[in-house]
Amino acid sequence: MQHPHRRRRRAAVVAVAFALALTGACSVPAGDEPGSEESGGAQPSASSGTQPGTSLVVAESEPGDLNPGKQITAYDQVMALYTSLTDVATDGTVTMAAADSVTSDDATTWTIKLKDGWTFHNGEPVTSSSYVDAWNATAYGPNAWANSGQLAEIAGYDDLNPESGKPTTDTMSGLAVVDDLTFTVTLSAPDGQFPLQLSQAQTGLFPIPESAFDDLDAYNLQPVGQGPYMMTEPHQENEDITVVAYDDYAGTAPLTESIVFKNYADTSTAYNDVLAGNVDVAGVAPAKIATAMKEFGDHFYANPAPGIAFLGLPLWDERYDDVRVRQAISMAIDRDTINDVIYGGQLEPATAFTPPTEPGTPEGVCGEWCTYDPTKAKQLLEEAGGWSGEMVVTYPGGFGLDELYKAYANQLRQNLGIDEVTTKSTADFAEFAELRADAKLEGPYFSRWGALYPSQQNTLRAFFVPGGGGGCTNCSASQPDEVVDLLEQADGQVDQDAAIALYGQAQEILAEQLPIIPMFYEKYMFVTSDKVSDFPSSQGSPVWSQVAVSS
């Protein structure tokens, strides 16, 4: 009997990694760098004011938690409801959003001044306490809010998250209110990237109004923010979320009057609904790019994102010890052809260890080692003593990655002359993560990272600093000491140019040692209905408040 509930459980899986990576941006452009306070519209489309009667229907997955401290799958909704302190544009420009200035002399103690006149959707003024209280609640261990880790660098975080037992305090020593619009943040170690950490997708750093603490369960269903849009009723599971323009919003007024976030379990259903004109915006799974480009033309968008895909190397296997073997693997893969064939040419072959939307990424640092050259690749492998045994290219199943990893395997087989290259997919991501954590993968493997805040620090830490990303789901199997040292030095710089120079030096070492192979810079892809006349994005994600619709 082929009754549906016995049938393929995994049939509808399209792309969780992809969906999880859809961390968006709600940018409110202003000023030009931390410390300045000039404001002005930077989006090309920013015409004045909200167009009455306009609405936008956006396909999303069921959001789960909405409290910004807890949410992990509701970036788009939450970023429409709040405005971050700072904003980092796709080109890496850092601007002040809700903050008036974020300054420090020593990269350890930071003074944050808020812009005056901002209010929450319930009319409550936004004060420095709105931030301090929110951050303390998010960091408080027993609350177990998912975004707690975003505050881990603040002095006193450890007191709220002791190794065992209950914390003895519920406030971080590093946070101090100076006046209504000013507070100071002391970090446990110097970090010049702090202003970038305050940017649009780090929802754990958003403010929460005082009134919310009376009933946090209610707040989780109807978060009250200070952003361009507000919710008018609590979210009910399975129901769409409608947000409407907040009249007293202190930033750049949103263009569209209301946005409906509609739940879809299956991205191809959402895609079909955009085709039929029932939905205005939907994300596109990588496997569907070619079709989407053909069917949507101008209304297909590929936005450069702060994500990068690597090919991980099982450095616990001594056959990969020789750098020439690693170089050979990298040079045997024709990134351009794979990009054209599988992704319709929409991705970008990677030439550095961080995505270019992160300020100062030294594009091209990987040089010839990231350039396709099958002859040299084969020669390098021979010099290193050739290859013996199997090479099992492993990736998590159910995310539409099969084509990509089969292509890698084919090219390694053909270009390096290794007969025993095979692919293996795990049942799901959890199984893959466990195999990776236990160092049980038997060949080059899936590895990627989407940065929550676009700084080289974020991507490099996730891969090369032990415990830096909070775990080692994706990290490089080798974390050279000199790279760790350089990253620490870079973090200590208040001056962004000095930091960038040091991150660049770290990347040069990585290019020499090639512990992990850069493959593609990621993009977040969308299709829109004809109704959408302008679809600006920041760091890959749509800037919801500045999306323009006709009528």
Partner 1 sequence: MMRFVVRRLLELVVVFLGVTFLIYAMVFALQGDPIAALAGDRPLPDSVVRVLRARYHLDESLWQQYLRYLGGLLQGDLGTDFTGRPVSERMASRWPTTIVLALTAWLLEVLVGVSLGLWAALRHGRLADRAVLLGTIVVSSIPIFVLGATAQLYLGVRWRVFPVSGTQDGWPMGFLLPAACLAVFGLAAVSRLMRGSVIDAMSSDWVRTLRAKGLSPRRIVGVHVMRNSGIPVLTFLAVDLGYLLGGAIVVEGIFNMPGIGQLLFAAIRAHEGPTVVGVSTVLILIFLVISALVDITNSLLDPRIRRDR
Question: Could you list the residues that contact partner 1 (CB under 8 A)?
Answer: 1-5, 7-9, 11-13, 16-17, 20, 62, 64-65, 72, 141-146, 148-149, 152, 161-162, 236-238, 262-266, 268-270, 272-273, 275-276, 278, 398, 427-431, 433-434, 448-449, 452, 469-471, 473-474
Q: For the CB of residue 372, give the shortest distance to partner 1 in the complex, in Å.
A: 28
Q: For the CB of residue 106, give the shortest distance to partner 1 in the complex, in Å.
A: 26
Cβ-based nearer residue to partner 1, 9 or 375: 9
Burial class (CB in 10 A: 0-12, 13-18, 19+), 506: buried
CA dist., res. 500 & res. 449, Å (int):
20
State the DSSP code for 273: H
Q: For the CB of residue 395, give the shortest distance to partner 1 in the complex, in Å.
A: 12
In terms of C-beta distances under 8 Å and separation of at least 24 residues, what long-range contacts does 422-425 make, across chains too? 422/390, 422/391, 422/392, 422/393, 423/392, 423/393, 423/394, 423/395, 424/392, 424/393, 424/394, 424/395, 425/394, 425/395, 425/396, 425/397, 425/398, 425/401
Cβ-based nearer residue to partner 1, 259 or 279: 279
Cβ-based nearer residue to partner 1, 272 or 489: 272
CA dist., res. 472 & res. 147, Å (int):
17
Q: For the CB of residue 398, give the shortest distance to partner 1 in the complex, in Å.
A: 8
Cβ-based nearer residue to partner 1, 362 or 398: 398
Short-list 458, 499, 459, 506, CA closest to 480: 506
State the DSSP code for 472: -
Q: For the CB of residue 265, give the shortest distance to partner 1 in the complex, in Å.
A: 5
Q: For the CB of residue 59, give the shortest distance to partner 1 in the complex, in Å.
A: 9
How are beta strands 51-60 and 300-312 bridged, if at all?
A: unpaired
Cβ-based nearer residue to partner 1, 385 or 440: 440
Q: For the CB of residue 359, give the shortest distance to partner 1 in the complex, in Å.
A: 21
CA dist., res. 410 & res. 106, Å (int):
51
> Would you list the DSSP string of 88-122?
E-TT--EEESSEEEEE-SSSSEEEEEEPTT-B-TT
Q: For the CB of residue 264, give the shortest distance to partner 1 in the complex, in Å.
A: 5
Q: For the CB of residue 468, give the shortest distance to partner 1 in the complex, in Å.
A: 10
Query: How far separated are the first and last CA of the chain, in Å rounded?
Result: 51
Q: For the CB of residue 18, give the shortest distance to partner 1 in the complex, in Å.
A: 10
Cβ-based nearer residue to partner 1, 1 or 297: 1
Whether 355 and 540 have beta carbons less than 8 Å apart is answered as: no
Short-list 388, 387, 386, 349, CA closest to 369: 349
State the DSSP code for 540: T
Q: For the CB of residue 10, give the shortest distance to partner 1 in the complex, in Å.
A: 8
Cβ-based nearer residue to partner 1, 189 or 427: 427
Phi, psi of 460, rounded to the nearest 5 degrees: -65, -40
Cβ-based nearer residue to partner 1, 79 or 499: 79
Cβ-based nearer residue to partner 1, 217 or 247: 217
CA dist., res. 131 & res. 109, Å (int):
16
Cβ-based nearer residue to partner 1, 146 or 244: 146
CA dist., res. 425 & res. 392, Å (int):
10
How are beta strands 256-263 and 51-60 bridged, if at all?
A: parallel
Residue that the structure tokens 């292509």 belong to: 407
CA dist., res. 61 & res. 384, Å (int):
48
Cβ-based nearer residue to partner 1, 351 or 474: 474
Tell me the CA distances in angstroms from 106 to 193, 240, 314, 364, 522, one per residue in order.
12, 46, 39, 32, 34
